[in-house]
Structure 1
Amino acid sequence: MMCQVCGADGAEPHFGGVSCRACAAFFRRYVHSRKMQITCTCKQRLASSHPCRHCRMLKCIATGMIKCKVQATRERNKAKAVCLPGSISTISLLSCNIVPRECSNITCTVENWGEVDVKRKRLYGDSVFNLNFTQFSNITKPDTLLLWDLAVKIFPDIKLLSGSDKQAILCNFFPRWMMLDSAIGFCTSYEESSKYIASKDYTDMLLHFYGTSMPLEKRLKDKEIIQIFKPYWDFHYFETAVPIYFKKLDKIEYMAIFLLLLLDDAYANISEEGATLCRNIRKVVKRELKGYQTDNNCSEMRFISVMDVLLILEKAEEKIQEEV
């Protein structure tokens, strides 16, 4: 087998890609390097010489090699379960069970979620229901950037994505995340939310959310607003939030869904290089999730049930597109 980095013979799987031992050793040294910035020096080198460290590393990444697979860099024995503050933390009254050593990336996401949650609450205020459609729309960009920064902190390789790939991923990601986030809010207090859906407060919220975003001279009548928009919210409640609630997911599983949702290699308008990077990271997340569930004696169907949430959210997004 030929090395996909330098073309030498005798290649074998290393760190998620296929390379010779020399390139695998280079990749390991690069990951361990203390240098924060390594730039391209090919223009100062002879034409017959090998690529510089920067370009060689890019080739390693392109073959599927992932930094987090270099074992010595992972603090595997320090993984621990941490309660999440805010909306997800209350869901996490569900036990986190035993976190295996192979679950370090998802666990790190959990540990860092508290800081992100505080920043998100500053954006949205005490309640999303106090906002109208226009105000909510203006918050979506800074919100997605907070979530993006969290993902970069967990998987630094994400910084290798181009600006256009980042933009495409965030545009595709946010509608589905919005559905998951609101479903999580519902799961936080199932009985209270169920009563709210059947109350006048629910319809009043819809009138405020949409009605106050419309110019006064073009504002629809209350009856028309309810008639047009309520079916979509009802769909989200019955077809998205309720099914997710009854899956009884814990915080590790929710964080895995967040990462899988963000780094979907099937999103539209992503380059092949970007899709490959997302696909490789998703493999890591799925492996960690599977290891976590195996260590906690979950059935095979548990993993399938978690993956089913992604399909539920895809279906919910299609419904949103009708609304838009």
Structure 2
Amino acid sequence: MNCQVCGHQNGKPHFGVIACKACSAFFRRCCALKKKYKCRHNGICEITPNGRKICRGCRQMRCNLIGMEPERIQYNRDPLGSKAERMALSAYSPGEQSTSSSSDDQTELRLINRLVENYKILEQRRDQLYERRQSGKPRGRALNFKEVNRSCMDECVLRAHWIAATFPIFKSFSFNEKKIMFANFFAGNTILYLGKMCCLYGRTDRIIFSNTGNYLDMQNIQDFYREEDDENPSKEATRLGQASKI
């Protein structure tokens, strides 16, 4: 089995994941000594089994992302791991050093600037997309479930591009890792975005979806389940609307 951290072929179950002796020893040492390392290259360093000077920051972040569990470490047995693990760790990554605080500050500032600039691009693309979606329809109208579903799909694409452009390391993860991280990110980020839009429009009775002013009417939720061309909601739409109020 391959190590989920570095890809080494001699991976075995360690701390809830598949890891080699070197990576498991590294994780054990980080937890035992309460070490927190930072990358000075924006978190894009390559982690390979034959690397001689692997970035500790990226290695530690990878251990955390794949789900290594600190509670599985038996500190009373050996807080720094077995002799074999310590030898593997020493041979695997000699001479690594954590970065200085000034270097870390500069790296974090560059990341923040990149995040802000890319988010401006995201907002521009979002406005352009929603303007095209209007296609002659009135602005500031109530949306139904099909339109909201389509908007959510659009947002998935927009935000995925934003994340990939802002955090290059995201591209190096497997599909399943990307899926898990994006799902955890998307829900919280959507709540923040919708909250921002409601504040901008000064409305608490509506969920504003875009700068076009389109919204979900919380006072008439049964209309949410109605088709665009239906003048009156169907029995099923009314039933779903009533169930949503419970």
TM-score w.r.t. length of structure 2: 0.47
TM-score w.r.t. length of structure 1: 0.38
Greater relative CO (CA pairs within 8 A, separation 6+): 1
Larger Rg: 2
